[in-house]
Amino acid sequence: DVKVTQSSRYLVKRTGEKVFLECVQDMDHENMFWYRQDPGLGLRLIYFSYDVKMKEKGDIPEGYSVSREKKERFSLILESASTNQTSMYLCASSFYPVGGGSGELFFGEGSRLTVL
Amino acid sequence: GEDVEQSLFLSVREGDSSVINCTYTDSSSTYLYWYKQEPGAGLQLLTYIFSNMDMKQDQRLTVLLNKKDKHLSLRIADTQTGDSAIYFCAEPISSNDYKLSFGAGTTVTVRA
């Protein structure tokens, strides 16, 4: 089974702290994604990566950065956490382009971040 | 596909059918997806439909696609308590792209 593992299920941080959210997938997938999930807004794409060291901005990249030094690991970084970044963060991976029908996204269980 | 729209809540009695509706935006989308998120978990792909199909049936699930109206629906027959979850409609942002655009999600509550 494909497994996408997010290192922290729950985090509590203070405003201004630097936050790292780690995600690892074990199926040699090319593509990895970070989404943010908020009630009533669904999932919004923050960043995605289609290859090692490659990244592209999604719909809401402001306040975030990412790192993909190895194929299996994709990290989301909040340089200076703010209260409006309190949210559920979901990592996902896929092998094929999603437009091809077989481009299923496999999701981790999520990291719930609270910024005080 | 920038704005995939769904109603936010659905309450259904156990044993009845649930119908979840979605309006998508890109008429060129080749595939459309339904994902399910159970409490405390990430999303899992439930089913998908190719755009040249009007209907797809998979056990208790029926997906209907109306391309003219850009309307997608998911019907769950004989709804069970284990079907309580958030259901997301999703479409590719472009036909050869790597990104999905998700709706806000419909929270389905199954009552006894």
Convert the pLDDT of each residue in A39-63 to its tens digit.
888 899 999 998 898 899 998 999 9
Band of residue B61 on the pLDDT scale cut at 50, 70, 90: very high
Residues of B in contact with A43 (CB under 8 A): 43, 88, 102, 105
Our measurement of the distance from residue B89's CA atom to the centroid of its chain's CA atoms, rounded to an integer in Å, reads 4
Task: Tell me how close the Cα of A2 comes to any Cα of chain B, in angstroms.
Answer: 11
Exposure pattern of A39-58 as b/e (b: 16+ CB <10 Å)? Answer: eeebbebbbbbbeeeebeeb
pLDDT of residue B14 exceeding 90, the answer is yes
Our measurement of the distance from residue A58's CA atom to the centroid of its chain's CA atoms, rounded to an integer in Å, reads 11
Alpha carbon distance B99, A28 (integer Å)? 18
Give the gyration radius of chain A's Cα atoms: 13
The pLDDT score that the predictor gives to residue B1 is: 40
- Partners of B92 in the beta sheet? B100
The answer to whether A7 and A110 are in contact (CB under 8 A) is no
Our measurement of the distance from residue B71's CA atom to the centroid of its chain's CA atoms, rounded to an integer in Å, reads 10
The pLDDT score that the predictor gives to residue A2 is: 65
Band of residue A97 on the pLDDT scale cut at 50, 70, 90: low
Q: Chain-wide mean pLDDT for chain A?
A: 91
Tokens of B26: 């890109």
Band of residue B77 on the pLDDT scale cut at 50, 70, 90: very high
Q: Any CB–CB contact under 8 A between A89 and chain B?
A: no
Residues 6+ away with beta carbon under 8 Å from B93? B1, B2, B26, B99, B100, B101
Alpha carbon distance B17, B46 (integer Å)? 17
Q: Any CB–CB contact under 8 A between A109 and chain B?
A: yes
Alpha carbon distance B94, B90 (integer Å)? 12
Name the residue among A31, A99, A108 with its Cβ closest to that of B92: A99
Residues of B in contact with A45 (CB under 8 A): 99
Residues of A in contact with B30 (CB under 8 A): 99-101
Could you count the other beta carbons within 10 Å of the beta carbon of residue A16?
A: 10
Mark out chain B residues that contact chain A at CB-CB < 8 A.
4, 8, 29-31, 33, 35, 40-45, 48, 50, 88, 92, 94-100, 102-105
DSSP H or E run through B93: none
